[in-house]
Amino acid sequence: MSSSPASFVVQNGRLRPSSEALVDAHDGLVICGRGIFETIAAYRGTPFRVDEHLQRLRRGAAVLELALPDGDTLLAAMHVALEANGLLDAAKARLRLTVSSPGDGSEWWWIEATPPPPHPATARVITGPFFRNERSPLAGLKTINYGDNVVALRLAREAGAEEALFANTRDELCEGTWSNVFVRIDGTWHTPPLSSGCLPGITRGVVTGLFEEHGLPLSEATLSYASLDRVESAFLTSSLREIQPVAAIDGKELEIAAETIVLQSSYRSLAS
C-alpha cells in the first residue's frame, strides 16, 4: 500500500534526505529481492506492538541470513524518523523498516516515517486466479517479494474493489494481499491458521486475543476457498487498516456484525 514519500529517512542510524540512493546495484535486494520489511503504526510518536514486529523481522532475517542491529538502535531510529518528518505528535503515522542484503554481509537498513495511506471505512473484496504457496520457504515471512500482491491488488482495483483474497495451493482460504482475514459462517467466526501459509500478522494476533478477552468464539480453522460463498460477515486486519469491515466479496453484500464494532472499539483503545 503506497503512502506519501518521507522527506528524510534514517539509514544505518544516520539521518539523510530520502532523495539520496539507499542501495547500490549489487545489493541482493536489487538482484534477487533478498530483503525483508515491517510496516508499523505509530500513535503520537509511539510505535504500536513494536516488540512483536521486531521479533517477526528477526525471524525473516534468520531465514535470509541478513544482519540486524539491536532493538534499541531500531527504536531510537524510529523516533528520529518520526521527528524529522514532523510526525512525532501525529495521531497516527506509518513507519516502514526495510532491511537489504549488501554483498559483504554487513547491516544495511533504513526507516521511513510518513502519514498513513487512506483506507475507506469498509472494503470491497474480490477473489481471483492467484494463490499462496504454503510450502514455500518464504511462507509466513514479510519479504520484499511482493510481486504477486501488486498484480492481485491491481486486478482488485480494476474491479472496483480495495483488496483481493488469496487461496493456497490446497484451495484453502489464506489471506489478502496486504491483510489477514476473519469471516463469519453460520454464526461462527473463523480465521485461517498459520499452516495455510498466511502471514502471522501482528494485528491478527492482537485481534485473536480480543476475541478471547470478550468471550467471543473464534476458530483458527482450515476453510475451503469455495466456502466464501457462505460468508455472512467479514473483516480485514493489518497494522495500518487496523480492523476494516468487508462490505462485499465478489459483489455479494455482507453485513457489518456487532462483534466487529466491539473489536474495533477495543483495538482503538489499545492503540490510542
Domain final residue, candidates 114, 139, 154: 114
Higher-pLDDT residue of 6, 86: 86
Residue 109 and residue 182 in one domain: no
Domain final residue, candidates 95, 114, 133: 114
The yes-or-no verdict on residue 2 having pLDDT over 70 is no
Residue 154 and residue 220 in one domain: yes
Is 224 inside a domain boundary?
Answer: yes
What average pLDDT does the segment 192-206 reach?
97
Q: Which three cell numbers stand for residue 149?
A: 500482491
Is 73 inside a domain boundary?
Answer: yes
pLDDT of res. 21: 84
What's the CATH number where 144 sits?
Answer: 3.20.10.10
Residue 30 backbone dihedrals phi, psi, to 5 degrees: -75, -40
Residue 140 and residue 213 in one domain: yes
Residue 110 and residue 133 in one domain: no
Give the side-chain half-sphere CA count within 13 A for 266.
Answer: 16
The tens digit of pLDDT for each residue in 157-196 reads 999 999 999 999 999 999 999 999 999 999 999 999 999 9
Is 152 inside a domain boundary?
Answer: yes
The tens digit of pLDDT for each residue in 217-263 reads 999 989 999 999 999 999 999 999 999 999 999 999 999 999 999 99
The yes-or-no verdict on residue 3 having pLDDT over 90 is no
Domain final residue, candidates 114, 132, 164: 114
Residue 142 and residue 30 in one domain: no
Q: Taking Cα atoms as reference points, which of 74, 77, 117 lies closest to residue 94?
A: 117
Where does the pLDDT of residue 265 fall: very low under 50, low under 70, confident under 90, or very high at 90 and above? Answer: very high
Q: Where are the alpha helices (H) located in 114-257, listed in sequence order?
A: 147-158, 202-213
Residue 204 and residue 138 in one domain: yes
Is 136 inside a domain boundary?
Answer: yes
pLDDT of res. 4: 66
The tens digit of pLDDT for each residue in 95-120 reads 999 999 999 999 999 999 999 999 99
Quote the number of domains for the chain: 2
Is 2 inside a domain boundary?
Answer: no
pLDDT of res. 128: 86
Print the domain residue range for 248. 123-271
